[in-house]
Chains A and B, each alone.
Chain A
Amino acid sequence: MRARAVLLGALSFAVILAAWEIVSRAGLISPFFISRPTLIAAAIGQSARSGDLAQSVGVTLAEFGAGFGAAIVVGLALGVAAGWFSVVEYAIDPFIWFVYSAPLIAFYPLFVLWLGLGPGTVIAISFLLSVTPITVNTLTGIRNVSPTLQVAARSFGARPQDVLWKVVLPASVPMIAAGLRLGIGRALTGVVIAELFVPSGGLGSSIAYNGGLLRTTEMLASLMVIVVLGVLCTQALSAVESHFDSWRTGPGL
């Protein structure tokens, strides 16, 4: 059953690539608009050999790591504080909603003024986009932990910090993980959008640069690398998630 799914998935990609190649070669759609897979593969191969690929992937990953890393630290800290103390939750609530619903990329001219035209701005936008789902999910996860569990722990002599570390946080893992999963997508989105506007040497900048020169093949090559990065990030998170949630024995609770 699993093998069948993998086979069908591979088949689907193969059909898409083959159709793309044929349509482009037959001239049904001009290669100027859609390029073709073989050209894109060649472009990726060439930039891999020249070292450009490693460099732009490195820049994008470094920005992503800094933005998402900061968002994890701040988001978890804020979320735990707000989940534990109602006052904190009420105080940060309006700000969370603003940051969540504002089109943060609109602030990039300001960030350029404050942080310069480069990685600082990209990291700031990526951080702001990804910090909200992490905070809110952590907060909600902690709030929704069954009070019975907490009371039981207290009655067996657990101190408040024991309840937090040994009961509340482990029980909130699924919610926190869902927040991280949303956050990882938004952090990557933030990096790529910001790079479209701010030349930082990353993959998004490369798309915008080649797009400006109408070099479709190079543009699509960078895009393909971004797709692969996105898939790898999501897979990595699933692995981490099942590691931290492995104590859970069954559904329900």
Chain B
Amino acid sequence: MRNVAHGFPRRRSVKREGGSPAFAALKGRATIGVSAVALFLAAWEIAPRLGIVDPFFTSLPSRVLLAGVEVLRSGTLAHDVLVSLTEFGSGFALALAVAIPLGLLLGAFPTLRDLIDPPVMALYATPQLALLPIFVLWLGIGMGSKIAVVFLGAAIPVVVNTIAGVRQVDRSLVLAARAFCATRRDVFVRVILPAALPAVMVGIRLGVSRAILGVVVAEMYVSQNGIGNQIMRLGSAFRVDRLLVYVLLVSVFGLAMTTLVRRLEERLA
């Protein structure tokens, strides 16, 4: 086996006959989860009010809520979101356009793989965000350097997982298809591609979270607008309440994207 990280595995829900015990379990799960969060929020609200911790350091949930309303009303949010989304979208699209064909090619041709694999694996093992200052030197402080970071962060896991996906295809399937007179093209399109798809999707899911972190870190490092830029400003000003609003926003986006890819995975699998 190659060194391929699997990401979060899909949770296996236990299916029971009749459905009602499963529903009860789900209800129990939601109740416990909600109460744990409520408990956390209550402690967070009460501890600063009792003077156990300094609210300057932690803010309060009620203040974060108010700050959320302020941020939504202020009107600057749309612009920052647009900039960050553009960087994320173009970098990610570019990554898919390059990484999937490259991965398929490297998976299919062993010699090419032996040649290109070592540098790719070296990049895979490296925190790609360490390249950020170099990208800024090459591409400036605008969108270019952010798109490059997103591209690299998303492309590497997709390439690595696509290669693994192609290599894991059952040889007997390929032989069977060949025995039934499938052309090389047929084998590739109808056997290898569908069989490799789940691994490619895992790569995409890993890539999504790296790409989102990449946008935010790159904008925090140096930029003139975008969500990361706001986070940096608010952080330096120690506006913890507003900072948390932006952080929550990015978290929700990340969660939504990961869920989306997971749904796609389930539909395709």
Contact = CB atoms under 8 A, between A and B. Distances in A.
B5 A185 contact: yes
B265 interface: no
A238 interface: yes
A100 B116 CA distance: 31
Interface string B242-269: 0100111011101100100000000000
Contacts, number: 172
B126 A33 contact: no
Interface stretch (A10-18, A47-55, A67-75, A161-169): A10-18
Contacts of A12: 115-116, 118-119
Interface size class of B (residues with CB under 8 A): 35 or more
A67 to B, nearest CB: 13
Contact of A197 (B9, B37, B220, B248): B220
Interface in B100-147: 111, 114-119, 121-123, 125-127, 129-134, 136-138
Nearest to A204: B130
Contacts of A91: 32-33, 35-36
Chain A contact residues, majority secondary structure: helix
B12 A143 contact: yes
Nearest to B118: A9
Scoring A137, A193, A238 by chain B CB atoms within 10 A of each residue's CB, the highest score goes to A193
Interface in B51-105: 57
A233 B248 CA distance: 32
Interface in A126-171: 133, 136-137, 140, 143-144
A116 to B, nearest CB: 13
26 contacts: A8-B111, A13-B119, A16-B119, A94-B33, A103-B213, A103-B247, A103-B254, A107-B247, A110-B235, A110-B243, A140-B8, A140-B9, A182-B5, A182-B7, A185-B127, A196-B130, A196-B221, A197-B220, A210-B133, A226-B127, A226-B130, A227-B122, A230-B125, A230-B127, A231-B121, A233-B125
Given A102-B250, A137-B8, A144-B12, 20 more contacts: A9-B117, A11-B115, A33-B138, A94-B36, A101-B255, A103-B231, A106-B216, A106-B220, A106-B231, A108-B235, A110-B240, A192-B129, A196-B129, A196-B132, A196-B133, A197-B221, A220-B134, A223-B131, A223-B134, A230-B125
